[in-house]
Amino acid sequence: MSANTAVIGPELRSWIETPAGSDFPIQNIPFAIFRAPGRTPRPCTRIGDTVIDLKEIADAGLLASTGINKEVFSQAALNPLLNFGKTGVRRLRARLCDLLREDVPELRDNTELRQSALVPLAQATMLLPVEIGDYTDFYSSREHATNVGTMFRGAENALMPNWLHLPVGYHGRSSSIVPSGVAIRRPMGQMRPKPDEPPIFGPSRQLDIELETGFITYRGKPMGERINVDEAEDYIFGMVLFNDWSARDIQSWEYVPLGPFLGKNFGSSMSPWVVTLDALEPFRTEGPAQDPMPLPYLQPRGSHSFDIQLEAALMPKGGRETTVCRTNFNHLYWSMAQQLAHHTVNGCNVRAGDLMASGTISGPSPDSFGSLLELTWRGTKPLKLADGSERKFLEDGDTVVIRGHCERAGLRIGFGEVRGEVLPAR
């Protein structure tokens, strides 16, 4: 592992079996919280299809050199670990890399510890990795914002006047964020399907997905101070996949004048594995050119986007998956560094474990749109699924799966998936 970038060299291999094409080679070393029979919820990492219990390794004294108290590895959330900041997490990843590489016998040849520390993925239940204090959802895809604006305001007014000058966002609800695999119930609410008639109450008829990513923060600066754009990534722990389920009919009736509320806060789904920015470093790339030039506090030096391939699939109850979208994180107009700099420019403080979501990530082509609202163009162009059925919006029993990975020169770093089934309204 490089002392400067903390990137694990592509030549390294682990003594733990890693299937070809796995999202989780030794170069990844993500972090998560799991539970398994006989074990309380606790931190872990992963190689291939094997979960590594960090409490077992810490209790054996093998993580003492990281300077992280072993009690941290008994906690049911990663927040205590995040208090050690980027430097502490880098030390931990470096130590885990040493323990897991194929030519280091320290853990490899300790049969008893290896048996207690290694858990087959099939025996693990993955939980939310952090206790999320605050959640902010941005609106940072120009293509998505343009598509939605065109639908509702016309092409000449697609982007609001402020959109090219700042990362638009709103504060969401953290209590209803759930881990992958937890079902989402169709929300009830007010809608106005006929604009010349009064609103009605009932289950949403336009339930949608939003293909997003999110980043989780380390502890920021004190309230009243700001994180500048060039130091912003020092306050970002890592990234997750995110599905911000949306009830478009509820949302379109309620959002004026204050923005999303009940159309969004009924549920959001998050992938369990937090992939660090150090793991993503080999895939760093330029984002879209920004014109007009942002104000100085939003002008970063260097590249702050990543080449992350993303896709969303829809599967009817008992049916086969149909991939409905393929897009890329690098389509985002506003970077994570710019989002965090803007979020704190007024002195807003962020805490360890806060979640910032990207907003729907859409690309330039119709098959790269990150929501059904766009893919079906507000229901006017239904999608054809593998079983021959059609979808304008989600139906009860549908399962949505979002996946993401980076791949270059034989190295693949991925996030796994975030999955959720739609249950009928109560």
Summarised one tens digit per residue, pLDDT across range 244-301 is: 999 999 999 999 999 999 999 999 999 999 999 999 999 999 999 999 999 999 999 9
Name 289's Cβ contacts closer than 8 Å, sequence gap at least 6.
none
Summarised one tens digit per residue, pLDDT across range 90-128 is: 999 999 999 999 999 999 999 999 999 999 999 999 999
Summarised one tens digit per residue, pLDDT across range 382-405 is: 999 999 999 999 999 999 999 999
Q: Which of 144, 304, 342, 405 is an active site residue? A: 144
Query: Both tokens of residue 236?
Result: 């970002």
- pLDDT of the residue at 2: 42
Sole residue written with tokens 């949306």: 246
Mean pLDDT of 239-243: 99
- pLDDT of the residue at 6: 76
- pLDDT of the residue at 3: 39
Name 146's Cβ contacts closer than 8 Å, sequence gap at least 6.
158, 159
Short-list 144, 270, 148, 267, CA closest to 204:
267
- pLDDT of the residue at 143: 98
| Helix H or strand E encompassing 142 | helix 142-153
Give the mean pLDDT of the chain. 97
- pLDDT of the residue at 7: 84
Are residues 124 and 51 in contact, defined by beta-carbon separation less than 8 angstroms?
Answer: yes
Active site residue 405: no
Strands (E), 173-257: 177-179, 184-185, 188-191, 200-203, 207-208, 211-217, 236-243, 246-247
Summarised one tens digit per residue, pLDDT across range 45-98 is: 999 999 999 999 999 999 999 999 999 999 999 999 999 999 999 999 999 999
Are residues 315 and 417 in contact, defined by beta-carbon separation less than 8 angstroms?
Answer: no
Which DSSP letter does residue 412 get? E
Region of poorest pLDDT, from 80-84, 154-158, 239-243, 401-405: 154-158
- What is the DSSP track for 348-400? ----TT-EEE------SSGGG-SSHHHHTTTTTSPEEPTTS-EESS--TT-EE
